[in-house]
Amino acid sequence: AKVEGFSDSLDLSVKWGTVTASGVLRQGSSRIRCEAGTVKVHLERGSSVKVVARSTLGKISLPGDETGLMGGWTMSGDVREYTIGDGAAHLEIEATTGAVFVESEQ
């Protein structure tokens, strides 16, 4: 699934595959669920959001994370958080088995 140009709200649920989303979040609550696969989110300039990312078994990469083979791997439902701007909006991302990648133009 590919979603471009969202603004202020996003609600995606994917059973398997790759979710790629880009846009601006400034208010309200949004969520992305991917049971088996990869979630890639690009938050554009102007976003103000607290990101809560969870991967049961996989990888979570948030802005500013160390890159490389070992950076960001999670086990047993680890949760990672990152705030962009004032964090006015809320984005919950969950990948059951797979990877979550979040990048920002902050």
Q: How many domains does the chain have?
A: 1
Give me 65's structure tokens.
């994370």
Domain of residue 11: give its range.
2-104
- Using one digit for the tens of pLDDT, what is the confidence trace for 28-86? 999 988 888 888 999 999 999 999 988 888 778 888 776 655 566 666 677 889 999 99
Q: What is the pLDDT of residue 83?
A: 96
| 17 close to 78: Cβ distance less than 8 angstroms | no
Q: What is this structure's pTM?
A: 0.85
**What gap in Å lies between CA 10 and CA 8, rounded to an integer?**
7
For residue 79, the cross-strand partners are: 54
The four Cα atoms 92, 20, 66, 89 give a dihedral, to 10 degrees, of -30
Give the rounded distance of the alpha carbon of 3 from its chain centre: 13
